[in-house]
Chains A and B, each alone.
Chain A
Amino acid sequence: MSLTKEQIAQRIAAELKDGYYVNLGIGIPTLVANYIPAGITVVLQSENGLLGMGPFPFEGDEDPDLINAGKQTITTIPGSAFFDSAMSFGMIRAGKVDLTVLGAMEVSENGDIANWKIPGKMVKGMGGAMDLVASAKNIIVAMMHTNPKGESKLLPQCTLPLTGVRCVKKIVSDLAVLDSTENGFRLLERAPGISVEEIRSRTAGKLIVEGEIPEMKFE
């Protein structure tokens, strides 16, 4: 069975390490916050000026001055700090953020990513995405393997305007965990019940398959 968005988030959360500062993009990546493994501490950075983002507030506790990068009302955790937008992107650019998780419309074999523009149709702007992919030490892309028309989103080359070049390291899709390498997408894990052949048939870019490919494990 291909993974749900929640399961993609859960698999990505398994990559979190104790003490990590993490930026989660809008969409599937925000769900990663719900699956932080027990026993480790992670500080979530919100690029609009907060370290220590907490869960959504209870009804009635919403604070209009306290939102995340997706403009949702949030809370903070003990030890949080507020700062301005230049410091926010400064800490990203200077490599202080350990992991960035974001979504993608397309990724290419060599790690290019397109996730901000569909010319003539969707031109909402790149927000912080270009800053994040240009400077993040560690990038994991959360995405569906194919688009609603069934076309592969893992391509030899991106067709959409790029957000960044040669920057994607790891991809977790609803079908697989893959690394982006010089020579193509290296398959690391399969979603439970999904075969290598099915992944291959839905990956337009070059797929490197070496050895037995295990199924993803969920606690």
Chain B
Amino acid sequence: MNKVVSNADEAVKDIMDGAVLMLGGFGLCGIPENCISALVRKGVKELTCISNNAGVDDFGIGLMLQKKQVKKMISSYVGENAEFERQLLSGELQVELIPQGTLATRCLAAGYGMPAIYTPAGAGTEVAEGKEIRNFNGKEYLLEYAFEAEFAIVKAWKGDADGNLIYKETARNFNPLMAMAGKITIAEVEELVRPGELDPGCIHTPGIYIHRIFQGVNYEKRIEQRTVRKSNESYKTKESK
């Protein structure tokens, strides 16, 4: 079994105008940097992107927005991208803002073969408009459908040629869910290893979900909000029992 392709350009070569894509990451953390650059180079347009955020103006999905490649975004928060907000308010860009938990769980539903899920998030708000509502144990839940995405593009820390993936720290976020949900899943990894080098008990995404994998290069791993504490600042930490 060899799912390895040479690079991002190879990995995205059959993504066409109008495609529905899932892109992993939370903010700029765990985003598939190489594939995003490849999509920008490819110039593919009219995309629908399912991704929790839209990057910043000059990094991440923001690069695709700058080149007007995105027709529709499905996200939960787009606060750090002025170009996004501008395109949204002007009507150039269709946007569906959905609760973050709903976004995650609709990916999970797709990956778990469930056509729909019920969640209370958004009940009583504009998010509930037009949706089926059902009462369970006295509480209102919205019916939400599994996403259907032609391609899921995820970023992992380590992966092997069979597509098994391991994620690092909070760069995990939506990646495992989208990996399971895509009709075709493309994975870029910081370290590509041979099958057998990863402990089977530590795999986060089994290779069955991955169609193409490649060794990523030149990760910038930009930090959106670099925040530090001073060495003399007191901080009450958890006391161990």
Residue ranges of A at the interface with B (Cβ–Cβ < 8 Å):
34-39, 41-43, 46-50, 52, 54-59, 61-68, 70-74, 77-79, 82-86, 88-90, 92-93, 112, 120, 123-131, 134-135, 161-166
Give complex CA distance A4, B135 in Å.
42
Closest to B105 in A: A86
**B127 partner residues in chain A, CB cutoff 8 A:** 126, 130
Chain B 140-175 interface mask (CB, 8 Å, partner A; 1/0): 000000000000000001000000000111111111
Nearest 4 interchain pairs by C-beta = A89-B101, A165-B124, A131-B101, A124-B79
**A72 partner residues in chain B, CB cutoff 8 A:** 225-227
Q: Is the CB of B177 within 8 A of A123?
A: no
Tell me whether B89 is interfacial, beta carbon within 8 Å: yes
Q: Is the CB of B97 within 8 A of A123?
A: yes
Q: Is the CB of B119 within 8 A of A93?
A: yes
**A50 partner residues in chain B, CB cutoff 8 A:** 169-170
Known: A71-B28, A85-B52; 19 extra A-B contacts, CB below 8 A, are A35-B236, A36-B238, A39-B239, A48-B170, A62-B226, A66-B170, A71-B225, A72-B227, A84-B172, A84-B174, A84-B176, A93-B119, A124-B79, A126-B98, A128-B101, A130-B121, A130-B125, A131-B102, A162-B125
Tell me whether B195 is interfacial, beta carbon within 8 Å: no
Q: Is the CB of B223 within 8 A of A62?
A: yes
Q: Please judge, given known A-B contacts A64-B221, A84-B104, whether A130 and B122 are in contact too, CB under 8 Å.
A: yes
Main secondary structure of the interface of B (DSSP, over half): loop
Give complex CA distance A164, B228 in Å.
33
Q: Is the CB of A67 within 8 A of B29?
A: yes
**B221 partner residues in chain A, CB cutoff 8 A:** 64-65
Q: Is the CB of B124 within 8 A of A123?
A: no
**A77 partner residues in chain B, CB cutoff 8 A:** 237-238
**B89 partner residues in chain A, CB cutoff 8 A:** 120, 123
Q: Is the CB of B27 within 8 A of A131?
A: no
Give complex CA distance A212, B107 in Å.
52
Q: Is the CB of A49 within 8 A of B172?
A: yes
Jot down 24 A-B pairs with beta carbons below 8 A, ordered by A.
Answer: A38-B236, A41-B240, A42-B238, A48-B29, A67-B224, A71-B224, A73-B228, A82-B169, A84-B174, A84-B176, A84-B177, A88-B104, A89-B104, A93-B119, A123-B97, A124-B77, A124-B85, A127-B76, A127-B99, A128-B99, A130-B99, A130-B127, A134-B119, A164-B124
Q: Please judge, given known A-B contacts A86-B104, A124-B79, A125-B76, whether A56 and B52 are in contact too, CB under 8 Å.
A: no
Q: Is the CB of B97 within 8 A of A86?
A: no
Give complex CA distance A166, B122 in Å.
12
Could you say which of A35, A37, A65 contacts B30, with CB atoms under 8 Å apart? A65
| Shortest Cβ distance from residue B118 to the other chain A in the assembled complex, whole angstroms | 10
Closest to B54 in A: A125
**B176 partner residues in chain A, CB cutoff 8 A:** 84
Give complex CA distance A41, B79 in Å.
33
- For chain B residues 158-202, which have a beta carbon within 8 Å of chain A? 167-177
Q: Is the CB of B29 within 8 A of A36?
A: no
Give complex CA distance A162, B175 in Å.
29
Closest to A114 in B: B125
Q: Is the CB of A54 within 8 A of B101?
A: no
Give complex CA distance A123, B89 in Å.
8
**A93 partner residues in chain B, CB cutoff 8 A:** 101, 119-121
Give complex CA distance A112, B27 in Å.
28
**B169 partner residues in chain A, CB cutoff 8 A:** 50, 63, 65-66, 82
Name, among B101, B126, B236, the residue most crowded by chain A CB atoms within 10 Å (CB to CB): B101
**A68 partner residues in chain B, CB cutoff 8 A:** 170
**A62 partner residues in chain B, CB cutoff 8 A:** 223, 226-228
